[in-house]
Amino acid sequence: MKIIDSAELDAFREEVRDWLADNVPKDPRPHDGAAMRDFDLAWQRRQYDGGWAGISWPKEYGGRGASVLETLIWHEEYARANGPVSGSMFVALSHAGPTLINSGNEAQKQRYLPAILKGEENWCQGFSEPSAGSDLSALKCRAVIDGDHLVVNGTKIWTTYGHLAKQQELLVRTDPDLPRHKGISWVICDMETPGVEVRPIKAMSGLTHFAQTFYDDVRIPLSNVVGEVNGGWKVAMTTLGFERGTGTVPHQIELSKRTDDMIAEAKAKGLLDDATGADLATLKAEVAALRSLTVAQISRGMSEAVPGAEGNIVALQFAELTRRVNGYALELFGPAALERGGHPDYPLEYLECFKWGIGGGTNEIRRNAIGERVLGLPKGPSAR
Amino acid sequence: MIVNLTPTEEQQLVEDSIRGLLAGKLPVDRLRESHSHGGAAERAIWNDLAELGLFGLGLAEERGGIGYGLPEEVIVAKALGAHLASPSIIAQMIAVHLADDATRPALMSGEARAAFVNAFDGGAHLIDGEGATHAVVVGQGGVALVAIDTLGTAEPVELIDETVAVAKVSTSASLSGGAEAERLSLLLATYMAGLAGATRDMAVEYAQTREQFGQPIGAFQAIKHQCADLALRAAGAETQCYHTAVTFGRGNDDGVEVACARLLAGEAALANAKQNIQIHGGMGFTAECDAHLFLKRSHLISMLGTSKAEVRKRILA
């Protein structure tokens, strides 16, 4: 436990801060649709041109090759500068890209990684199915080998930005006779391939951020398989939950700002009494704990090659706290806070934050993981 | 500022040595025997604690201390909490920071001994005061170090926690805030984080071994998820304490950070103690199971010094 003081890192921080001050888009990010996607791609391209894209990715694929500490500084400054969320670039930058870096072959890395960093192609994730959610390895979407192609039939759901993405990381069952974790392959699916049909799904917030995808005899080259045929579970698990904590920094800083703003507004409006004071003090303390937990997770990431299951503690704290904070604003500020379209749009923020704690691992699955993989309790049926 | 919360090698050594000593000399089950109550077991090893350098650990070398800082002191405080050590050890750790040059050497060597006096509206409690030469008086206004003979007549009283010896006293010490008051508040918070961590470990161990319906109860999600909540609360409290210790004096609002640590750790200690009792079922309700000791100690320490209302006010200041 110590403070790392370094003139070199201070200089790096200065450089990041200056670049962000000059380049973070001033226009508000569209909430939805192709306009949002185009905004995200343009911002990605701008970061690429400035030499900041893929901050921690290897240089040979267009990344910056920054150290863990530099990456942390980038994320901190990015959040302070109100940099836009990665949005429709999230899967490409935080999941598909790192998976290819870990498990892809050279041709796949050359073909796909620079296209991500240049903002030419965004990705979506085809993992969950209507009957395979938390129990992901029950997935049924079938792929049969036909010559040098896979032929895919089935469906995927909760495909975030599926209707706006160019590529998809797709988990398919290539051998139904093998044990369920062993017959799965991880393939790259071009969303423009004939037979792919995407039906957008409207969320409870009113935004259309995800979709269901249907595959009807979709032919995908075998060369798009990442890792071994039938080795897809291992490929997926290497990066699922591969979280050094730096990715949580923007969310944590945003939630911290939101909480401080709420407290300031409560004071300004004379709403601070013993009861609201007790609630707000607890929320602020919990937000401070989230910050400290994030720092602890990043600290572990500095010394461990593959971070352990403790990341679930940070994710769980964030998911539950963001709902509490956003929900409390509605209670505190009364009927006017129920109006849509304001700044901030309290109902929108509130309704949207229910996605945390469901997508990417429900709070219940995370509690299982903490119980089994952090505390060493006996495994239940959901263990993976 | 970049913060690394992973213990350094030296900090690991500090932790290993205090844990080694406590595991041998102050196992929690000592408190099943009343002759260990009231800090008796701690008084028996006071010299060992002094030799380990506990009293002066975070004190600068030029003032005669070991020259470590708050991070090392909170590591010790957490271990003390996990072992339900007498609060007097924390009192002594703070006393060396408060003492003048004439008094300090005797406190550091363990020759002079400190104990807490909790001053509240309408009274004051001296905790584990037997043999104490000094009192660390804590209350709303902060903290003060006074000679034990400045306190009025001591009249024994039994509190919720029967493992500490308490006497009603009176004091007119004038308390002051500032960095040492914050240090004390943080050490008490970390002690409570230690309580929360110990009950997490106790609950998990029981859930791994206690079988019902043909399997360990920890296999059931009803229990497993409670254990995850114990872990979440303990981790939040502990890392907030550690983060505050490392960044103290480095530009954060230390008063707010300490108050957050205090609030979280107090709630974590209490909530975890309750849930640990529940997970232990019938055994948890008995006097022979140690679970109740953590509940009682959580109530005692969370009421020491700054009140919860004051802590909240500081957080929102």
Alpha helix ranges (H) inside chain B = 9-25, 40-44, 46-51, 70-82, 87-98, 104-109, 179-209, 221-247, 254-279, 281-284, 291-302, 308-316
Q: Over 80: is that where the pLDDT of A384 sits?
A: no
Q: What average pLDDT does chain B have?
A: 97
Percentage of residues in chain A having pLDDT higher than 70: 96
Q: In terms of domains, do A259 and A179 share one?
A: no
Q: Over 70: is that where the pLDDT of A241 sits?
A: no
**Rounded-to-integer distance, Cα A373 and Cα A216, Å:** 39
Residue A284 is predicted with a pLDDT of: 98
Q: What is the SS3 assignment for B65?
A: coil
Question: What is the C-alpha end-to-end distance of chain B, expressed in Å?
Answer: 24
User: Which residue did the predictor score with more confidence, B222 or A246?
Assistant: B222
Q: In terms of domains, do A249 and A354 share one?
A: yes
Q: In terms of domains, do A279 and A205 share one?
A: no
Residues of chain A contacting B13 with CB distance shorter than 8 Å? none
User: Which residue did the predictor score with more confidence, B1 or A59?
Assistant: A59
* Domains assigned to chain B: 179-316 (1.20.140.10)
**Rounded-to-integer distance, Cα B175 and Cα A164, Å:** 64
> What mean pLDDT do residues B113-119 have?
98
User: How close A36 comes to chain B (CA, Å)?
Assistant: 34
Q: Between B4, B216, B264, which is nearest A299 by CB?
A: B4
| ipTM, two decimals | 0.96
* A126 strand-pairing partners: A170
- Tell me, what CATH number does A112's domain have? 1.10.540.10
Q: Between A3, A302, A377, which is nearest B1 by CB?
A: A3
**Rounded-to-integer distance, Cα A144 and Cα A160, Å:** 26
Residue A382 is predicted with a pLDDT of: 53
* A352 strand-pairing partners: none
Q: In terms of domains, do A199 and A260 share one?
A: no
Residue A383 is predicted with a pLDDT of: 44
Task: Give the tens place of pLDDT for each residue, B17-61.
Answer: 999 999 999 999 999 999 999 999 999 999 999 999 999 999 999
| A370 CB within 8 Å of a chain B CB | yes
Q: Residue A211 belongs to what domain range?
A: 123-231
Phi, psi at residue B151, to the nearest 5°?
-80, 150
Q: In terms of domains, do A367 and A256 share one?
A: yes
> Which pLDDT band, with edges at 50, 70 and 90, does A300 fall under?
confident
How long, in residues, is chain B? Answer: 317
In a domain, A381, yes or no: no
Residues of chain A contacting B259 with CB distance shorter than 8 Å? 285
Bridge-based pairing of strands A196-201 and A167-173 is unpaired
Q: In terms of domains, do A76 and A98 share one?
A: yes
**Rounded-to-integer distance, Cα B58 and Cα B67, Å:** 6
> What mean pLDDT do residues A8-19 have?
97
> What mean pLDDT do residues A251-266 have?
93
Residue A305 is predicted with a pLDDT of: 63
**Residues of A that are catalytic:** 243
Domain boundary among A191, A209, A231: A231
Q: Over 60: is that where the pLDDT of A242 sits?
A: no
Question: What is the C-alpha end-to-end distance of chain A, expressed in Å?
Answer: 33
Residue A68 is predicted with a pLDDT of: 84
Residues of chain A contacting B229 with CB distance shorter than 8 Å? 367
HEC-encoded secondary structure of B76-134:
HHHHHHHCCCCHHHHHHHHHHHHCCCCCHHHHHHCCCCEEEEEEECCEEEEECCCCCCE
> What mean pLDDT do residues B190-207 have?
98
Task: Give the tens place of pLDDT for each residue, A314-341.
Answer: 999 999 999 999 999 999 999 999 999 8
Q: Over 80: is that where the pLDDT of A239 sits?
A: no
Residue A252 is predicted with a pLDDT of: 86
Alpha helix ranges (H) inside A203-310 = 232-239, 249-268, 274-303
Partner-chain contact A371 B7, CB within 8 Å: no
Domain boundary among A117, A134, A161: A117
Residue A115 is predicted with a pLDDT of: 98
In a domain, A379, yes or no: no
In a domain, A380, yes or no: no
Identify residue B16 by its one-letter amino acid code.
D
> Which pLDDT band, with edges at 50, 70 and 90, does A250 fall under?
confident
Q: In terms of domains, do A339 and A366 share one?
A: yes
Task: Give the tens place of pLDDT for each residue, B214-226.
Answer: 999 999 999 999 9
